[in-house]
């Protein structure tokens, strides 16, 4: 190895820029943790680390997968702690906690508080209400009853101020933007019911509905807390990724020494050393020597490109060659990567306008309830000639009985069950409306590289035959040369035939590997590097298609050169998944940043008729937008950085967990594992969950058809209202449990 810079020790854990000083000589570090499966993992980490002298505090969180370390500066090195954790089998990655968003947890906390207060209120009110119901049967005096009512008001009013806040603020916000959502009718019902009950209490009347109003809030809050739980789990996974994408850059100072700094601290004109296997932290120009770069995350192009001194490098691409020195020409918002991120943000805006089914239902439901209530009021006052007071009570009765418990719970309880089931299968769903959007699709768009294919080259053939006999010896020899190379083709050879590394192997970036031996030089690399003559090439040439495949030639002195061909293999279940999606009535498309002929071949093999190659990220977004205009609601499945804007622009999107960080942040759902079959099963589950939601809403309508006449006829009492409310909620929840038998 000729480059001295590549001999510099680099810490396995790049933590220095993230250590913060606290008072009293203490230092602290926050890390994300990978590999935490359950709470007992936390216990092991905390036990192991807290026993190290110098450690002041360690706390790991199993929900958010984060860890806080505090130690006395000088008494222990952070490196020791990180190594200990790593030795236990967990991968700690330091990050800057300022980058974290804390919304999900705070939101859940607020809802939990509201729920607790509502529960308290409901229990107390039930106590008083029950005494009144029992008392009415047993001859309770009017004054006692009025006392009970006043006490109920004393509890119900403050409780509704706290417990009702999530609904009131949401309804108010919706009203200001001209949108109707379910919270409008809910807030209206609660406030009207309380107002009428207070009026009735002042009058000393018989029917008050305090418990109904608070019970309504309680049941609805259950649904909200469940939904917030979904968001919290998905939210922290995403936030962790955001933290990881802020990495370290190795800046070369004027005196030649290296300083580790954060990516966002780089400035124009800085010199940066990028080691083999690392991503380029900013756009720049190559300074010292040519390097091979894997651009597939940005462009989707599978072949690495040789970039010579003076040529441009793009942030986010991978250095495959030896450590290289780069001069920064663009940082932050000016990089190509930032342009892609901006494209992504613009594409995402259309998602905010999607109304979930329950809210679309509310658009009809709210006015209907209001009209019925008003009708009751008018008919009783003017049609039947009742007093104002009686007419108002009828109107309130209608409001209470059309209680949107069933409607408000219809979606959350189904979604919680569905998301739970998907989580068990290893699929992360970020919000319940992404499941609704998934159920609506009529087309699926796949990215090619890394999604339908494995994304890395694999050994296909040795010379013109499958691995057999003599050739497998050559393979083993070649693999011994490639052991320490990070070039994708070399890695493909190493993984197909793991063996010991040969000594004295020299890497020539962009060309190949060589080894000086007794009989001469053994070479593995491009045909030019190995000096392959035309006739030697003819020997193994099997046709035109060969020219498109990536190849390596292997020349052992004195023997016939061997040719290795590589292919980015299609995933095993790709063809089947596409077929089953088509059978469900979905149109399937494929987009790729790779060359058109390669894309065409793969499309034919998988069975996709409509495809497009050589797509830049902008082209993918355009494709999706065009199809949206002609009526397509698409599911986009992709993995590279070049897919992130498309993932945001689609109606709904999925990403494998092997995808780049930005894609996982951009996608609505993330699926673990290698199986594309998850896509089909998630789609089926989403459709089933929407069926259950519609059943719940249908039940709510049916329930109203039966009970509204009862209320209009004056037959409703608080007791009956409470019973109806609880039973409708229970029916909806039981129906939602049917998702488990899917």
Query: Which residues are the active-site residues?
Result: 447
| Position 127 contacts another protein (CB under 8 A) | yes
Judge residue 646's burial from the number of C-beta atoms within 10 Å of its C-beta, 0-12 exposed, 13-18 middle, 19 or more buried.
Answer: buried
Stretch that binds another protein, among 102-110, 419-427, 538-546, 660-668 (CB under 8 A): 102-110
Rg of the chain (C-alpha set): 33
Tokens 């060359």 locate to: 595
User: Do the Cβ atoms of 458 and 569 come closer than 8 Å?
Assistant: yes
CB nearer to another protein: pick between 58 and 606: 58
Q: Which of 79, 498, 490 is nearest to 276 (CA)?
A: 490
Token pair of 437 as six digits: 């959007």
Burial call 160-176: b when 16+ CB within 10 Å, e when fewer:
bebbbbbbbebbeebee
| Position 126 contacts another protein (CB under 8 A) | no
| Position 607 contacts another protein (CB under 8 A) | no
Tokens 């020791």 locate to: 80
CA 193, CA 352: separation in Å to the nearest integer?
33
CB nearer to another protein: pick between 22 and 596: 22
Count of residues engaged in binding another protein, rule: CB under 8 A: 41
Stretch that binds another protein, among 51-59, 359-367, 466-474, 661-669 (CB under 8 A): 51-59
CB of 81 to another protein, least distance (A): 15
CB nearer to another protein: pick between 109 and 342: 109
What are the residues whose beta carbons fall under 8 Å from the beta carbon of 622, sequence distance 6 or more?
A: none
Stretch that binds another protein, among 64-72, 171-179, 249-257, 280-288 (CB under 8 A): 64-72
Q: Which of 598, 672, 677, 581 is nearest to 635 (CA)?
A: 581
- Work out whether the CA dihedral 221, 222, 223, 228 comes out positive or negative: positive
CB of 22 to another protein, least distance (A): 8
Angle (CA) 535-536-542 rounded to 5° is 90
Token pair of 605 as six digits: 């093999």
Long-range residue pairs from 582-585, CB within 8 A, at least 24 positions apart, any chain: 582/607, 584/680, 584/683, 584/684, 585/442
CB of 723 to another protein, least distance (A): 24
| Position 165 contacts another protein (CB under 8 A) | no
CB nearer to another protein: pick between 113 and 191: 113
Choose, by CB under 8 A, the member of 79, 89, 123, 464 that binds another protein: 123
CB nearer to another protein: pick between 150 and 188: 150
CB nearer to another protein: pick between 60 and 574: 60
CB nearer to another protein: pick between 60 and 286: 60
Choose, by CB under 8 A, the member of 105, 508, 537, 688 that binds another protein: 105
Token pair of 247 as six digits: 């990495």
Stretch that binds another protein, among 52-60, 459-467, 523-531, 635-643 (CB under 8 A): 52-60
Stretch that binds another protein, among 115-123, 333-341, 517-525, 733-741 (CB under 8 A): 115-123
CB of 241 to another protein, least distance (A): 15
Stretch that binds another protein, among 38-46, 275-283, 382-390, 457-465 (CB under 8 A): 38-46
Judge residue 679's burial from the number of C-beta atoms within 10 Å of its C-beta, 0-12 exposed, 13-18 middle, 19 or more buried.
Answer: buried
**Residues 7 to 26: which contact another protein by CB under 8 A?**
22, 26
Choose, by CB under 8 A, the member of 11, 20, 21, 39 that binds another protein: 39
CB nearer to another protein: pick between 226 and 621: 226
| Position 244 contacts another protein (CB under 8 A) | no
| Position 742 contacts another protein (CB under 8 A) | no
| Position 107 contacts another protein (CB under 8 A) | no
| Position 710 contacts another protein (CB under 8 A) | no
What are the residues whose beta carbons fall under 8 Å from the beta carbon of 338, sequence distance 6 or more?
A: 332
φ, ψ at 543 (rounded to 5°): 145, 175
Token pair of 166 as six digits: 């999530």
Stretch that binds another protein, among 105-113, 318-326, 560-568, 597-605 (CB under 8 A): 105-113
Choose, by CB under 8 A, the member of 31, 49, 60, 228 that binds another protein: 60
Choose, by CB under 8 A, the member of 31, 58, 315, 662 that binds another protein: 58
CB nearer to another protein: pick between 164 and 450: 164
Give the end-to-end CA distance of the chain in Å, rounded to a whole number: 59
CB nearer to another protein: pick between 39 and 426: 39
CB of 109 to another protein, least distance (A): 6
Choose, by CB under 8 A, the member of 16, 73, 86, 116 that binds another protein: 116
Given the DSSP bridges, would you call strands 20-21 and 26-34 parallel, antiparallel or unpaired?
antiparallel
CA 114, CA 54: separation in Å to the nearest integer?
42
φ, ψ at 671 (rounded to 5°): -115, 135
CA 645, CA 632: separation in Å to the nearest integer?
18
Token pair of 329 as six digits: 């020409």
**Residues 329 to 368: which contact another protein by CB under 8 A?**
none
Measured N-to-C along each axis, helices 183-203 and 210-244 cross at an angle, to the nearest 10 degrees, of 150
Binding mask 128-157 for another protein (x = CB under 8 A): ----------------x------x--xx--
Choose, by CB under 8 A, the member of 11, 43, 516, 531 that binds another protein: 43
Sheet strands side by side (includes 271-274): 258-262, 248-252, 271-274, 324-330, 283-286, 312-313
| Position 472 contacts another protein (CB under 8 A) | no
Q: How many helices (H) and strands (E) does the chain have?
A: 23, 27
| Position 199 contacts another protein (CB under 8 A) | no
CA 324, CA 30: separation in Å to the nearest integer?
30
The binding site for another protein (CB under 8 A) comprises 22, 26, 28, 38-40, 42-43, 46-47, 56-64, 66, 68, 70, 97-98, 100, 102, 105, 109, 112-113, 116-117, 120, 123-124, 127, 144, 151, 154-155, 236
């Amino acid at each position: 190895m000729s480059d001295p810079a590549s001999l510099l020790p680099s810490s396995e854990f790049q933590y220095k820029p993230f250590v913060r000083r606290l008072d009293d000589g203490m230092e602290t570090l926050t890390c994300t943790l990978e590999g935490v499966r359950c709470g007992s993992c936390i216990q092991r980490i905390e036990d192991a680390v807290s026993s190290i002298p110098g450690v002041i505090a360690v706390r790991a969180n199993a929900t958010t997968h984060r860890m806080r370390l505090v130690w006395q500066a000088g008494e222990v090195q952070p490196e020791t702690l990180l190594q200990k954790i790593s030795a236990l089998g967990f991968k700690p990655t330091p990050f800057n906690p300022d980058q974290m968003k804390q919304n999900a947890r705070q939101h859940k906390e607020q809802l939990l508080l509201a729920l607790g207060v509502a529960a308290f209120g409901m229990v107390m009110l039930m106590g008083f209400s029950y005494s009144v119901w029992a008392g009415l049967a047993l001859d309770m005096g009017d004054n006692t009853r009025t006392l009970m009512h006043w006490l109920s008001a004393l509890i119900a009013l403050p409780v509704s101020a706290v417990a009702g806040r999530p609904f009131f603020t949401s309804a108010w916000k919706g009203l200001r933007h001209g949108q109707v959502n379910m919270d409008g009718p809910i807030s209206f019902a609660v406030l009207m019911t309380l107002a009428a009950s207070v009026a009735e209490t002042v009058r000393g009347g018989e029917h008050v509905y305090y418990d109904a109003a608070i019970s309504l809030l309680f049941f609805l809050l259950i649904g909200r807390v469940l939904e917030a739980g979904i968001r919290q789990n998905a939210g922290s996974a995403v936030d962790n990724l955001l933290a990881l994408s802020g990495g370290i850059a190795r800046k070369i100072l004027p005196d030649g020494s290296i300083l580790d700094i954060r990516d966002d601290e780089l400035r124009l004109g800085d010199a940066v050393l990028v080691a083999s296997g690392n991503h380029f932290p900013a756009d720049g120009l190559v300074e010292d020597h040519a390097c091979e770069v894997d651009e597939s995350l940005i462009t989707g192009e599978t072949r690495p490109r040789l970039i010579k001194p003076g040529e441009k490098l793009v942030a986010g691409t991978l250095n495959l060659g030896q450590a290289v020195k780069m001069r920064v020409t663009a940082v932050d918002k000016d990089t190509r990567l930032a342009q892609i991120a901006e494209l992504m943000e613009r594409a995402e805006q259309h998602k905010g306008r999607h109304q979930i089914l329950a809210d679309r239902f509310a658009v009809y439901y709210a006015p209907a309830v209001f009209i019925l209530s008003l009708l009751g009021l008018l008919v009783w006052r003017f049609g039947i000639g009742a007093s104002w007071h009686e007419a108002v009570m009828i109107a309130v009765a209608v409001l209470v009985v059309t209680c949107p418990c069933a409607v408000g719970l219809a979606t959350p309880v189904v979604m919680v069950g569905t998301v739970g089931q998907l989580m068990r299968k290893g699929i992360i769903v970020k919000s319940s409306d992404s499941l609704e959007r998934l159920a609506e699709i009529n087309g699926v768009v796949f990215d090619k590289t890394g999604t339908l294919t494995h994304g890395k080259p694999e050994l296909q053939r040795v010379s013109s035959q499958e691995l057999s006999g003599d050739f497998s010896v050559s393979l083993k020899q070649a693999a011994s040369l490639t052991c320490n190379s990070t070039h994708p083709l070399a890695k493909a050879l190493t993984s197909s035939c793991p063996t010991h590394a040969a000594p004295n192997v020299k890497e020539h970036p962009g060309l190949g590997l060589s080894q000086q031996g007794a009989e001469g030089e053994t070479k593995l690399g491009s045909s030019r590097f190995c000096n392959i003559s035309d006739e030697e090439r003819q020997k193994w040439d099997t046709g035109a298609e060969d020219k498109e495949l990536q190849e390596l030639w292997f020349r052992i002195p004195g023997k016939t050169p061997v040719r290795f061909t590589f292919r980015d293999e299609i995933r095993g279940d790709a063809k089947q998944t596409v077929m089953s999606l088509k059978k469900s009535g979905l149109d399937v498309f494929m987009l790729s940043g790779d060359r058109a002929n390669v894309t065409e071949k793969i499309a034919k093999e998988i069975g996709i008729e409509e495809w497009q190659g050589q797509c830049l990220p902008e082209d993918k977004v355009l494709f999706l937008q065009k199809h949206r205009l002609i009526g397509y609601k698409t599911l986009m499945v992709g993995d590279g950085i070049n897919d992130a804007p498309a993932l945001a622009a689609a109606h709904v999107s999925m990403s494998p967990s092997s995808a780049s960080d930005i894609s996982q942040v951009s996608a609505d759902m993330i699926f673990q594992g290698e199986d594309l079959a998850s896509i089909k099963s998630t789609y089926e589950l989403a459709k089933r969950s929407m069926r259950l939601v519609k059943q719940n809403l249908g039940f709510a309508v049916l329930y109203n058809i039966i009970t509204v006449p009862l209320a209009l006829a004056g037959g409703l009492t608080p007791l009956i209202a409470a019973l109806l409310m609880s039973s409708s909620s229970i029916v909806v929840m039981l129906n939602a449990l049917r998702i488990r038998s899917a």
